[in-house]
Amino acid sequence: MLPTPKSGILDIDLYVPGKSKVPAGVKLHKLSSNESPLGTSPAAIEAAASATNGMELYPDGSATVLREAIAETHGLNPDNLICGNGSDEILSLLANTYLGAGDEAIFTEHGFLVYRIATLAAGGVPVVVEEDNCRTSVDNILEAVTDKTKLVYIANPNNPTGTYLPIDEMRRLHAGLPEHIVLVIDAAYAEYVRRNDYEAGLELVSGNQNVIMTRTFSKIYGLAALRIGWAYGPTHIIEALNRIRGPFNMNAAAIAAGSAAMRDRAFLDAAIAHNDTWLAKVTEELEALGLEVTPSVGNFVLIHFPDDPENNAEAADRYLTDRGYVLRRVTGYGFPNALRMSIGSEEANLGALETLKEFLA
């Protein structure tokens, strides 16, 4: 008899990342993974290269200089920060810390796939609530709370929809949760948001004992290859997570590069400006083609296609890929007839739009 994984493991679907292959001889324009079109901060590249000196030594197990850079930039206490191998690791640490057999974690129907994976892997029960026109519904979440609920995961902004909850709604959500439930605010795309009524989560964490906010360096900082995530939370939550995280979960190059990237404000400002310009342009051009686009505040757009075998998302995906433009199928997120398009370089954006125009002609 073969060894049997614990309950829940075999219920997990394998995570499928965005594809990155096109036909031989065709130039690749990868618009499937929300990666940085501006590359990486030169300061971060230099810091990572310097970190290769002394590779025989273990890295700092507390990622001290990285936590200090984050704390300095955001005005936080470094003792209330934890860093991880991508924010995915921290999301999983939270599930392993607060979920036992039969405990429930709530997330929305189009939420990040890792929430379900982390919940099942910890032995918990995923509770999926409906969204309201691709937007998180506070009422639906609160109605789903039971005495078994231990975690609520909220992506704000959400991926792949690009929608967000304003701060008043986040406050209402938190106020409606019992004190023993941890509200997890996944703010991976926070740096891109240009809305006066948005707050990434710092306020809610600072004023409460059951909220934690996660962030990432994979998007606007252009450090996806190094896998760097961080979280800000109350002391008792951070201490609990530190008890089960790996003692050297961050490598030296990631710590050094992340520290430099966090302090490179000029690179960050350039990335924000590029996204501001092209998010608006791409959305406008897609709508001019007659396609429905969910309003986004991130670095991507969700494009809905006609319910027509010749012009649906699957057909569009094939047409684009054959010509080198790789977008993301989001069937696993509950959108079988949509594609998510990352905001890329000027060349990639214009080329993808022109190719879609040809496809729809």
Asked whether the predicted pLDDT for residue 15 surpasses 80, the reply is no
Exposure string for 291-308, b = 16+ CB within 10 A, e = fewer: bebbebbbbbbbbbbbee
User: In terms of C-beta density within 10 A (0-12 exposed, 13-18 middle, 19 or more buried), how is residue 119 classed?
Assistant: buried
pLDDT for 224 beyond 70? yes
Q: pLDDT grade, residue 114 (50/70/90)?
A: very high
Instruction: Report the distance separating Cα 361 and Cα 359, nearest Å.
Output: 6
pLDDT of residue 14: 78
**Domains, the chain, ordered by start:** 9-39+266-360 (3.90.1150.10), 42-264 (3.40.640.10)
Length, in residues, of the chain: 361
Distance set, CA 337 to CA 224, 279, 331 (Å): 28, 21, 7
Lowest mean pLDDT among 11-15, 197-201, 209-213, 257-261: 11-15
- One-letter amino acid at 36 equals S
The angle, 0 to 180 degrees and rounded to 10, between the axes of the packed helices 265-288 and 346-360 is 10
Spatial distance between the Cα atoms of 319 and 313, rounded to a whole number of angstroms: 10
Q: What is the pLDDT of residue 355?
A: 98
Residue that wins the pLDDT comparison between 3 and 350: 350
Pairing of strands 104-108, 149-155: parallel
Mean pLDDT confidence for 72-85: 98
pLDDT at 109 over 80: yes
Mean pLDDT of the chain: 96
Angle of CA points 347, 36, 286, to nearest 5°:
50
Q: What span, in angstroms and rounded, lies between the C-alpha atoms of 121 and 96? A: 8
Given a cut of 90, whether residue 334 has pLDDT beyond it is yes
Question: What is the structure's pLDDT at 18?
Answer: 66
The reported pLDDT for the residue numbered 2 is: 83
26 vs 150, higher pLDDT:
150
Model confidence at 12, pLDDT cuts 50, 70, 90, reads: confident
pLDDT of residue 327: 98
* Distance in angstroms (rounded) separating the CA atoms of residues 82 and 88: 13
Q: Could you tell me the pLDDT band of residue 187, with boundaries at 50, 70 and 90?
A: very high
Q: Are 296 and 156 in contact (CB under 8 A)?
A: no
Percent of the chain with pLDDT over 70: 99
Q: Could you give the strand order of the β-sheet that contains 125-129, starting from the edge strand earlier in sequence? A: 81-85, 228-232, 211-216, 182-186, 149-155, 104-108, 125-129
Give the separation between CA 125 and CA 100, rounded to whole angstroms. 9
Q: What is the 3 state secondary structure string of the chain?
A: CCCCCCCCHHHCCCCCCCCCCCCCCCCCEECCCCCCCCCCCHHHHHHHHHCCCCCCCCCCCCCHHHHHHHHHHHCCCHHHEEEEEHHHHHHHHHHHHHCCCCCEEEEECCCCHHHHHHHHHCCCEEEEECCCCCCCCHHHHHHHCCCCEEEEEEECCCCCCCCCCCHHHHHHHHHCCCCCCEEEEECCCHHHCCCCCCCCCHHHHHCCCCEEEEEECCCCCCCHHHCEEEEECCHHHHHHHHHHCCCCCCCHHHHHHHHHHHHCHHHHHHHHHHHHHHHHHHHHHHHHCCCEEECCCCCEEEEECCCCCCCCHHHHHHHHHHCCEECEEEHHHCEEEEEEEECCCHHHHHHHHHHHHHHHC
